[in-house]
Amino acid sequence: MKKALFCLLWLVCLPLGAQTSHRDSVLAQARYLKSVYRTDEAAERLSALLEESAFDEAVLAELADCQFQGGDYLGAVNAYIQLSDTLPDNLLYRIRQMQSYNRLKAYPYSIRAGHGVLKRDSIPAVLSYIGDTFRQMERPDSALWYYRRSLAFKPRNEVVLSKAVNILLSAEDPDGAIAICEPFLAETPDNATIAPLMGLALYRKGDYESAIKVFERQMAAGNTTYPIHFYLGQSYWHTQVLYRAEEELCAAWQIDSSDVTLAYSIAAVKAEAYQPFEQEVKPWLDKAYEMLQPDPLVMARLHQQYGLGYFRKQNAWEQAIEHYKAAYAYNPKFISALSTIGYCYEQNKDYKQALHWYEEYLKQARPGSTGYDFVVKSVSFLKSELFMQEP
């Protein structure tokens, strides 16, 4: 305070031209310090300069910018409020106020400041920024509304469009995602940001043939990223082109070998193609198993595939039983595992255990279904066999 008072007294004693020269010199020094990221020093000099004079827009604006860059967002907000109140038509100060509030996570205030800008000018970037703020508040519907308004002014903005598409995909609205992608892709069909999202929307819709066309076109254009291979492989799997599905999924694995779903998918594709279980399917199931977090449904699916592999071997009934029991333990709704376990015991000539598991199945299965009728016949057969074995 004493230093500031001394500077003020010293400045008053200077001629007007010298005062101006001093102010310009400090301002130039502060701008240099800011340019080399010494924002705290710059802010200190600017603050001292402000204490020496009345309102000075250039100095206060420079101070606000230093505070913003240095992470003092509260100081920046206060400075930009003062600037905006004094110069209400300067949209830059209102925009920086909006940004400063956002950095403070004061999202409602950030939105309010953004609305203050929009009352004077419908700036697409501000509309998008408000959309981003609503996303940070986990209000995707409001975010989407502002993204759509921004796109109405600037429809070729692929960054904003991709945000809107991702919201629609998260909301399980693939038709909405496709609808806003189509006008953009009509002019630039090979866009590496929007075209993959279009392919994903088609995939989510279940239009796998169209998704394949989009992903294949992206690959032809040089986009060989993980999502392209992964979803192209998944699309081929759904259309039963198993050799292409395996090819693309394995290509995805070469890029990223950390996805348990991918490892499982490769195993399942190989299983559907009736490739040798021990040599081809089991190694991929093992990879998935080792990577897996303990998600019960995924664990159930893994054990089901293990069980299926051993079941098909027809001479590994005990291993199949082990895995089907594990699958049922993880997913008690998987009641067909009970009848399969019974069948495996039956094939292994352990009729008492087979009868037990068949009866457990009948307690839960729907009478009249194909599986139910099959097990009823098996139970009848087993009871007669056990009766014949009695002394």
Tens of pLDDT along the chain (391 residues) come to 444 434 443 344 444 455 568 888 888 998 899 888 899 998 898 888 887 667 889 999 999 999 999 999 999 999 999 999 999 999 999 999 999 999 999 999 999 999 999 999 999 999 999 999 999 999 999 999 999 999 999 999 999 999 999 999 999 999 999 999 999 999 999 999 999 999 999 999 999 999 999 999 999 999 999 999 999 999 999 999 999 999 999 999 999 999 999 999 999 999 999 999 999 999 999 999 888 767 888 889 999 999 999 999 888 999 999 999 999 999 999 999 999 999 999 999 999 999 999 999 999 999 988 889 999 999 998 888 887 776 5
Interatomic CA distance for residues 208 and 238, integer angstroms: 7
Interatomic CA distance for residues 160 and 182, integer angstroms: 15
Q: Note every long-range contact of 209-216, with CB atoms under 8 Å and residues 24 or more positions apart, other chains counting.
A: 209/235, 209/239, 211/235, 212/236, 212/239
Task: Identify the pLDDT of residue 14.
Answer: 43
DSSP code, position 366: P
Task: Identify the pLDDT of residue 53.
Answer: 66
Interatomic CA distance for residues 29 and 25, integer angstroms: 6
Map tokens 């019974």 to a residue.
342
Interatomic CA distance for residues 303 and 322, integer angstroms: 9
Beta-sheet strands, E only, within the chain: none
CA separation, residue 370 to residues 195, 219, 331 (Å)? 44, 45, 21
For the chain, domain boundaries = 1-70
Task: Identify the pLDDT of residue 3.
Answer: 42
116: Cα within 13 Å, side-chain hemisphere:
21
* List of residues 6+ apart from 298 with CB closer than 8 A: 260, 264, 292
Query: Helical H runs in 36-157?
Result: 39-51, 57-69, 73-86, 91-103, 107-118, 124-136, 140-153
Q: Note every long-range contact of 253-256, with CB atoms under 8 Å and residues 24 or more positions apart, other chains counting.
A: 255/225, 255/226, 255/229, 256/226
Question: CB neighbours (10 Å) of residue 368?
Answer: 7
Tokens standing for 281?
Answer: 């399917």
233, with CB counted inside 10 A (0-12, 13-18, 19+), is buried
Q: Of 338, 329, 331, 377, which Cα lies nearest the Cα of 356?
A: 338
Task: Identify the pLDDT of residue 47.
Answer: 87
Task: Identify the pLDDT of residue 298.
Answer: 87
Q: Of 286, 287, 301, which Cα lies nearest the Cα of 257?
A: 287
